Structure 1
């Protein structure tokens, strides 16, 4: 059975984090749906550095669909759009309640997850400078933090996006697949 991940794209998201995540998940055999939360209802969004990204669907069309992982790229103002989208927050709360995996990178752990009290006792990291918005008891200053009990993966930013995405492949598909993907991408 193939796992299914949702990657949520917002205007102003960090393109490297979004594309690296989507690409790495697909290489790991994971079905990926990229969903736009563009306020104008468009599939195409303009990312933080001006790169145009095209989502598969609007978030509304997959809101009732179960996902093994919901992944949030960071970037500004992308993380703010994520934070302010009630449907996405509802989906993240439901994902946490049912024990599904969540992943957030860069500004998203602080601006989205912490803002909506979606971290709980998890160990987390985030973009340097956002530590004050994350629970002090759970903050770890490292590239990627995987909290198995809370089913949460967090990471610091663009330069850690490959390790972040590989951590997602590892939790969904296992070490063998993750190592194979890493080797194929010349990361091992």
Structure 2
């Protein structure tokens, strides 16, 4: 490819008159709190945003993008790949970075690409709605059973009754029964109030 470029015609600019409003300054879009990574089939990062670096490298401070790429490759395997399943295609549902809890969602994209370095997996890292929820403390405080605790954890992740039922391999009616019991134990009358009650019990 040639490095030469066509000449660009200069544009004429004039200073604004006193009665003309000054042009508005461009406002950058707000940064998202979610981390996003694109990896190849070997889980080597191809592209990533600043939030992904911050989440996975905490508390380290990285000096260069090269260092970030090397570190992220290691952190993906140590934090995001499930150690209980001997396959690189199984990711954890959640993990912790410092005192914060994050949810991990992996999506397979363009799996038919022949180039092994082609982006094939998109990984989204989202902070949990309540930061670090001390579920052991919550279970003791409200005397929750193990199954009630599971239902509550999935509820805090934003899952609906159908999704919770699929995760726990139970019926939606059973999920609703667990939710009603949790509401009774927490002294509230709605699902949203139950979530709010749990949030209020967490240390700031």
TM-score range, shorter chain: under 0.3
Provide the TM-score with structure 1 as the length reference. Answer: 0.24
Q: Which structure has the larger Rg over C-alpha atoms?
A: 2
Which one scores higher on RCO, CA 8 angstroms, separation ≥ 6? 1
User: If each structure's strand is expressed as a fraction of its own residues, which one has the higher value?
Assistant: 1
